[in-house]
Amino acid sequence: MISFDNTEIAFKYRNTNELKKAWWLFKMIGNNQFVKLSKPFSGLAASLAPTRFIIKQTIYAHFCGGETIRECEKTIAALANFNVGTILDYSVEGKESEEDFDRTLEEIMDTQDRAVLDDQVPFCVFKLTGLARFGLLEKVSAGETLTDSEKHEFEKVKQRVEKLCKKAVETDRKLMLDAEDSWIQQVMDDLILDMMRKYNTEKPIVYNTFQMYRHDRLALLKEWHEIAVNEGFYIGVKIVRGAYMEKERKRAKELGYLDPIQPDKASSDRDYNAALEFITSNIDRFGLCAGTHNEQSSMLLTKLMQEKNIPSNTSQIYFSQLLGMSDHISFNLAHAGYNVAKYVPYGPVKEVLPYLIRRAEENTSVAGQTSRELSLLTREVKRRKA
What pLDDT does 88 receive? 97
d(CA 73, CA 86): 10
What pLDDT does 195 receive? 98
8-state DSSP, 48: S
Across the chain, mean pLDDT equals 92
What pLDDT does 37 receive? 47
Same domain, 154 and 32: no
Same domain, 186 and 54: no
Three-class secondary structure of residue 177 per DSSP: strand
Is-above-0.85 flag for pTM?
Answer: yes
Same domain, 117 and 93: yes
Check which CATH number belongs to the domain holding 317 and give it. Answer: 3.20.20.220
Same domain, 72 and 102: yes
What pLDDT does 34 receive? 52
Same domain, 380 and 308: no
Same domain, 182 and 306: yes
d(CA 280, CA 53): 45
What pLDDT does 2 receive? 87
What pLDDT does 363 receive? 56
> What's the structural domain count of the chain?
2
pLDDT along the chain (386 residues), means of 10: 92 94 85 55 57 81 94 97 97 86 97 97 96 97 97 98 98 96 97 98 98 98 98 98 89 96 96 98 98 97 98 97 95 98 94 76 62 93 92
DSSP 73-116: HHHHHHHHTTT-EEEEEE------SHHHHHHHHHHHHHHHHHHT
- Where b means 16+ CB within 10 Å and e means fewer, 343-375 reads bbbbbebbbbbebbbebbbbbbeeeebbebbbe
Residue 283 CB neighbour total at 10 angstroms? 16
Same domain, 20 and 160: no
Same domain, 164 and 89: yes
Same domain, 184 and 35: no
Q: Which helix (H) or strand (E) holds 196?
A: helix 182-199
Same domain, 322 and 376: no
d(CA 237, CA 279): 9
What domain range is 385 assigned to?
Answer: 1-64+353-386
Same domain, 157 and 124: yes
Same domain, 94 and 45: no
